[in-house]
Amino acid sequence: MIPAVPAIVDGGFHAAQSAKTPLLPETNLKGRRPPARQKRPSTVLPAIAWTVLLLALAGLVVYRQRHGDGQAAAPGDQVAAAGRAVEMAASRGVVQGVSEKSTAPALLGGGAYDWTNAMLAWQRTAFHFQPQKNWMNDPNGPLYYKGWYHLFYQWNPDGAVWGNITWGHAVSRDLVHWLHLPLAMVPDHWYDINGVWTGSATQLPDGRIVMLYTGSTEDGVQVQLLAEPADPSDPLLRRWAKSEANPVVVPPPGVGLTDFRDPTTAWLNPADKAWRITIGSKNQEHAGLALVYRTEDFVHYDLLPTLLHVVQGTGMWECVDFYPVSADPAAGVGLDTSAAPGPGVKHVLKTSLDDDRNDYYGIGTYDPATDRWAPDDAAIDVGIGLRYDYGKFYASKTFYDPVGRRRVLWGWIGESDSERADVLKGWASLQSFPRTVLLDTKTGSNLLQWPVVEVENLRMRGKRFDGLDLQPGSVVPLDVGRATQLDIEAVFQVQAGAAAGAEAPYNCSASAGAAGRGLLGPFGLLVLADDGLSEQTAVYFYLVRGADGKLSTHFCQDAFRSSKANDLVKAVYGSSVPVLDGEDLSVRILVDHSIVESFAQGGRTCITSRVYPTKAIYDSARVFLFNNATNVNVTAKSIKIWELNSAYIRPYPYSS
């Protein structure tokens, strides 16, 4: 075993102690449940029947899930053959007319893994938002109100699988330390009896808050609904009143009754001073599209004759988001959703594709006179080009923070383990760490995402390593102490004039991951690794010199060897990342037990992985540098690593 490299700087502060976190308070739903004659239909098959169904399907279908760059792993991939799990997803959500919110994979490869309580307990995150128990999916209606950030989310109060969807609710002063509140909205009317689904908040100039969300009716029709705070003087917004006018929008002619969901935050159109919202759908030719509605009072809506945008072949658009970004290099701030189009302003159109469970975005121009949006580059249009995140990341939503003058993004991070494991641990899914979103004014063609600055308040002990030389084939351990809650910033330099030989194009998802060697890669960091490297999650760069002599850079995250468990989906995620002349290669990594979020080149390309080590847990987790290239020396110019404190997310202290 190579001795760990000691840090040249070591400093920090002691963590504050916290009392044991209590369980979520019980929420009394008496009087808000529907009468017996309107009993909600079950969304979960009986356990025995479900198991039989999965086993039967398992005998018929075995396929390798496609990830990241959208290509299957290459044949003969030794790393994949050594432990890559096989996934078969059986849908529950689709039959309800919504995307498959419970992936419910039947994962094969030797039977169910023998998880211990210690392993399962370790998987729970420390500073990412998640409820105390049960299933969670999409973030909903984020906003800032009277000194509090509010996050609502899809939640199943009855178990760790998708179903019985209500709105959970939490508040924070800083986007990091969250307090759980009682449920915000429950399915208690005919128009949302099958689920209080995804929605968005709009704060009007007079301070009024309107919440638009999708409900699934007693007949399974998707309709749009209006709710407002029952007590606007309450900064915690603990009670919500559904409008007597509900449903305020129903599927228009030509739109499928189950293809009409997830209204956006409203924006004020400067052409007629009326509000607009957009709702995702698809047409009969399987083109994804965004409908536009006009309203003046949020009760009455007119469907406009034009579509905001449509892209052929992309399928159902859900969780659409639409917002402006500043193109001014000197601005460095987010824009309010109603910021007027014009010089120096671009608009982002984002959709979550039901077909492949990824979030795509485009940058373009919004014309308020026609209520149309056009991409700057049709080759990377919405649904066929850029993604927010090339890993496990979906159903995202942004909001404008008027205090920080920034746009903040959350995404739903689902699980990659088996449903059996979720039930054993009693919870499933979490939210990404909140990110700021800006236009990359250097490239002009992509967004920059970065963890909100408040995460730095969690930093404790910090260590720094400078000028470490990484020879081809080398692995260098770093002495950082506890390595399960980390904030890592790393900068790499590649030897000048490296390797003149041309190589074939590279694809992260179709590669052998960090084990596959090329002339100029892979190199980077191994996190959540054990001493013997039997478990590791690799975050790395891979450079390719083409026949034209130009370098292309790929940023990847490899979970092939992240766990000894066999009932997992293990994949290599990633994509290319723009690197401008004179730039070093840089990466930021947030490690929080079973989630790894990475941001390359200031956030031009982002990757999120869910990993479930069995050995590299608690005090056994380690960090390494590595260079698995065959023909280039790499220098770790600067490595900064902080241990992060826990956020101690807990119920609101009503007694204080």
Catalytic residues: 138
Question: Where does 217-271 show beta strands of DSSP type E?
Answer: 222-229, 240-242, 267-268
Query: b or e along 363-381 (b: 16 or more beta carbons within 10 Å of the residue's beta carbon)?
Result: bbebebeebbbebeeeebb
Tokens 């705070």 found at: 229
In the three-class reduction of DSSP (H, G, I as helix; E, B as strand; rest coil), residue 271 is classed as coil
**Cis before 375 (ω within 30):** no
Q: Which two tokens stand for residue 351?
A: 């959709």
End-to-end Cα distance, the chain:
52
Q: Which two tokens stand for residue 261?
A: 């969901």
Question: Measured between alpha carbons, how far is residue 203 from residues 5, 138, 213, 401 in Å?
Answer: 52, 20, 15, 11
Q: From the CB of residue 237, how many other CB atoms can be counted at a distance below 10 Å?
A: 25
Question: Any idea what the Cα angle at residue 336 is, between residues 335 and 339, rounded to 5°?
Answer: 85
Q: Which two tokens stand for residue 97?
A: 């007319």
Distance CA 562, CA 34 (A): 45
Question: Measured between alpha carbons, how far is residue 89 from residues 82, 156, 325 in Å?
Answer: 22, 20, 37
Nearest to 424 by CA among 133, 21, 89, 34: 133
H runs (alpha helix) in 104-190: 117-122
Question: Where does 127-274 show beta strands of DSSP type E?
Answer: 134-145, 148-155, 166-172, 178-185, 196-203, 209-216, 222-229, 240-242, 267-268
Question: Where does 535-633 show beta strands of DSSP type E?
Answer: 537-545, 551-558, 572-576, 585-592, 595-600, 605-610, 622-627
Spatial contact of 639 and 12, defined as CB atoms under 8 Å apart: no
Distance CA 256, CA 294 (A): 21
Which residues have C-beta within 8 Å of that of residue 589, sequence separation ≥ 6? Answer: 486, 487, 488, 490, 525, 527, 539, 596, 597, 598, 599
Distance CA 322, CA 362 (A): 10
Nearest to 396 by CA among 471, 461, 318: 318
